Amino acid sequence: MSQDRSYSFEFFPTKTDAGHEKLLATARTLASYNPEFFSCTYGAGGSTRDRTINTVLQLEKEVHVPAAPHLSCVGDSKADLRSLLTQYQQAGIKRIVALRGDLPSGMGMASGELRYANDLVSFIREETGDHFHIEVAAYPEMHPQARNFEDDLKNFVRKANAGANSAITQYFFNADSYFHFVERVRKMGVDIPIVPGIMPITNYSKLARFSDACGAEIPRWVRKQLEAYGDDTASIQAFGEQVITEMCERLLHGGAPGLHFYTLNQAEPSLAVWNNLNLSAR
């Protein structure tokens, strides 16, 4: 099942030294499974820029797994972005996740010289040619700020046509939404790999808040079962593991080109699914 597929893991830069050490420990554990890359997020409006850079460089140099920093254009000038791209090139970074980015609370309308992710992809290509493998985001259940699904599909096509090499989706819990999205954009002429983003289920209340904010739908039957477990963490985790494993099996059997795990800086939930799927290291 794992032949010629891309498996990767995502981290977020932490605010404390203890959190950073935990992140590196998690990364070292996951590195033994030989993922294609580790990605590292970038806070709203570039608010974690320095921590993202430092984390990415450590993952690349110390953990020895290719690192893919998130890069967003909200709030950054072209000069800022050019400087970051140069720094990443000089550090040997070969992959970037190019995003519009989230607006920090109270920031209002987007600032910066580039407004959309397709503008950022074009800018990276203009500045660096083919140096970077560029990942972009895909939203099988529609970006929460999109006017409608058709507009969102067109936005994705623009990112692909601007020079993206592949895409990673927002997480979802309904495999049909992924297959429908891929089918639609294939008919629109997009042929880049679209890798499903996978969010392990470990804490229902946090997942529900985050999903409501980012537009990821938790199917009613999953939500009701998780609610029924109350504070029974072990049952929530066991049920969540089963739900995510079965979805991943369906995705891979249906032709998904890999899986991208949103780890939340923890190894065990993603590895539980990995082991259930009998995925072998590359």
Question: Has residue 127 been placed in a domain?
Answer: yes
Which of 10, 36, 135, 241 is catalytic? The answer is 10
Cα separation, 48 vs 51, whole angstroms: 5
* Catalytic residue flag (residue 21): no
- Cβ(72)–Cβ(46) below 8 Å: yes
Question: Has residue 1 been placed in a domain?
Answer: no
Residue 257 confidence (pLDDT): 97
Domain total in the chain: 1
Burial of 135 (0-12, 13-18, 19+ CB in 10 A): buried
- Residue type present at position 48: T
- Residue type present at position 187: K
CATH (domain of 78): 3.20.20.220
**Structural domain boundaries enclosing 199:** 6-277
Cα separation, 9 vs 30, whole angstroms: 8
Residue 26 confidence (pLDDT): 97
**Enclosing H/E stretch for 195:** strand 194-198
Question: Has residue 34 been placed in a domain?
Answer: yes
Question: Has residue 245 been placed in a domain?
Answer: yes
- Cβ(249)–Cβ(274) below 8 Å: no
Token look-up 């987007």 returns 110
Question: Which ranges constitute the DSSP H helices of 129-266?
Answer: 149-161, 175-187, 204-214, 220-229, 233-253
Structure tokens at 84: 């970051």
Burial of 79 (0-12, 13-18, 19+ CB in 10 A): exposed
Residue 141 confidence (pLDDT): 96
Question: Which ranges constitute the DSSP H helices of the chain?
Answer: 17-31, 49-58, 78-90, 117-128, 149-161, 175-187, 204-214, 220-229, 233-253, 268-276
Cα separation, 231 vs 245, whole angstroms: 22
pTM above 0.95, yes or no: no
3-state secondary structure of 120: helix
Question: Has residue 282 been placed in a domain?
Answer: no
Residue 215 confidence (pLDDT): 87
Question: Digits of tens for pLDDT over the chain (282 positions)?
Answer: 445 799 999 999 998 989 999 999 999 999 999 999 999 998 644 556 778 888 999 999 899 999 999 999 887 889 989 999 999 999 999 999 999 886 655 544 455 688 899 999 999 999 999 999 999 999 999 998 899 999 999 999 999 999 999 999 999 999 999 999 999 999 999 999 999 999 999 999 999 999 988 889 999 999 999 999 999 999 999 999 999 999 999 999 999 999 999 999 999 999 999 999 999 755
- Residue type present at position 201: I
